[in-house]
Amino acid sequence: MEKSTSSGSFNHELQWLHSFAPEFGVNGDSVKILHTPSEFHTQLIQEARCAKKRIVLASLYVGTGSLEKELIEAICLAAQDNANGISITILMDCIRGSRGKDNSIEILNPLFNRYGHSDKLQVYLYHTPNLRGLMKRFLPERWNELISVAHMKAFIFDDNLIMSGANLSHDYFVNRQDRYISLRNCPEVANYFNALIDTVGSFSFKLMPNKKVDFAHSISQHPYKGNRREFIVNANKQVKHFIQSHLALSTKAHNHCDDYCELPRNLFKKFTHYASTSPPTKPQNIAKCDVPSVGAVDKHEFVDTWIYPTIQMGLFSIRQDEFVTKLLMKSFLPESKVHFTTGYFNVTADYCDTIIKSDARYDIILSSPEANGFFSSNGFSRHIPQVYIHLCKKFYDNVKGAGRQSHFSLLEYVRSNWTFHGKGMWHYPPGEKLPDMTIIGSTNFGLRSVHRDLEAQMILVTKNAKLRERLHQEKNSIAKYTRPILSETFKQPRYIVPRWVASVTNFIKIYF
């Protein structure tokens, strides 16, 4: 890492973010960018084998193939090599993780063979309170996952963190392109995400050694047998307390937790108040970074990079990520360049309106129909790519109607035998050729992400020239497989949407 004789650091134009999210100062040399699914898998294996204290994994599910088994074996070896017992915590979605007979619960069995009933092993299975009653009884597998899932992805090994949008499954290790950022020796950032996963675990089921699922009873109401309203209120309190406690640790954070943790009718009024005024874009007059006790930097190391984690759990009226993301997009200066990407283009009307009215120039990278994970699937799901095409066309028409074509480029990711799952944002200040900010995490910025699923993001702001170059290379490594979406594109047979799909899209888009 780059050293400095003092603990001072740069200020930056997005310093106002510390008013709405915890701020962690790090040195950019500790941040590594992974480019491919195979790099991601290799890094997970290496980190697991070297872990000494803790392994914490949050993923929608864990696959059951040979590559996933290799990861579990590496975790078991780490446990075997540490006589005092390395602690292991895993958070998955209960519905997705228990799908079929050969499922995530089965593949984790070797860990229970190693640990038994030890409190060193915790496997949490989050179950949405919205799947209950007749829906719980009669909705078939896969369809029941449309209701809501735990969608967070974060992977902690001792004091190292890998933040991604990828799940722990074969395609995500082989040919499903996503994004992956690794932070090394950043204990407080790792502790934050560890605590977030434990918080969700406190109102989740626990997997037991006999493969049975038990409710932890940290909250008085069962997720789908108890009172739904009370479960949601109690979950809100748990997550709100988590956010408040981490904001309180930051000496510069102003506690705006209530602004995005109130009931929606109260939230809307406050959100409108903040969103109506552009956030400050000039750095504060602070001589030093004054990284608080949560800052993940040795006092002799130079702070040039800042991490701002955000959470979105719309079901529980936790809308921090939505709140901050919109403020962030409103703060972009004229002629700044934004590269925005999502594998599933179903961006909310609020985000669309903000993007179209922005003075920034946007390159929006989407999955082509062939690179959509649902392409060539069975049943109704094979029409899901057409749903996203229809939504993309509506956005294109809105841009055209607003006369903003010169500020936008739509690009589709096309790569033979690959699917696209990448999501996030890179921001290039006016006149600069390297990004100074990126967003990475689990959200697709769509209706599901905002209203239904449990999501976690990380905003990274940096003045480190080498890290900015690495982020630029990451963007380019994705963009090189894209081609423009033009008005003629929508006339191609591969982009033709059946009328019945277009007709039902407005009714079903909340689930995608």
- The catalytically annotated residue of 18, 93, 158, 171 is 158
Strands of 326-407 (E only): list them.
Answer: 337-342, 361-367
The pairing of beta strand 160-164 with beta strand 154-157: antiparallel
Cα–Cα dist 496/494, whole Å: 6
C-beta pairs of 224-230 under 8 Å, 24+ apart in sequence: 224/127, 224/128, 224/129, 224/131, 224/132, 224/133, 224/136, 225/132, 228/129, 228/130, 228/132
Quote the radius of gyration of the chain (alpha carbons, Å). Answer: 22
Distances, alpha carbon 181 to alpha carbons 162, 204, 453, in Å: 6, 27, 22
Answer yes or no: 81 catalytic: no
Q: By the 8 A CB rule, do 160 and 183 touch? A: yes
- The catalytically annotated residue of 12, 41, 127, 151 is 151
Instruction: For Cα atoms 454, 456, 462, give the angle at the middle one, nearest 5 degrees.
Output: 165
Partners of 424 in the β-ladder: 341
Q: Sign of torsion, CA 240 241 244 250?
A: negative
Cα–Cα dist 45/469, whole Å: 26
Answer yes or no: 321 catalytic: no
Provide the angle, in degrees to the nearest 10, between the axes of the packed helices 320-331 and 349-357: 10
**How far is Cα of residue 483 from the mean position of the Cα atoms in its chain?**
25
Length of the chain: 512
The first and second tokens of residue 243, run together, are 């956010």
Answer yes or no: 158 catalytic: yes
The pairing of beta strand 337-342 with beta strand 361-367: parallel
| Site of tokens 């050293």 | 3
Single-letter code of the amino acid located at 356: I
- The catalytically annotated residue of 41, 127, 153, 423 is 153
**How far is Cα of residue 301 from the mean position of the Cα atoms in its chain?**
28
Count CB neighbours of 398 within 10 A.
15
Residues involved in catalysis: 151, 153, 158
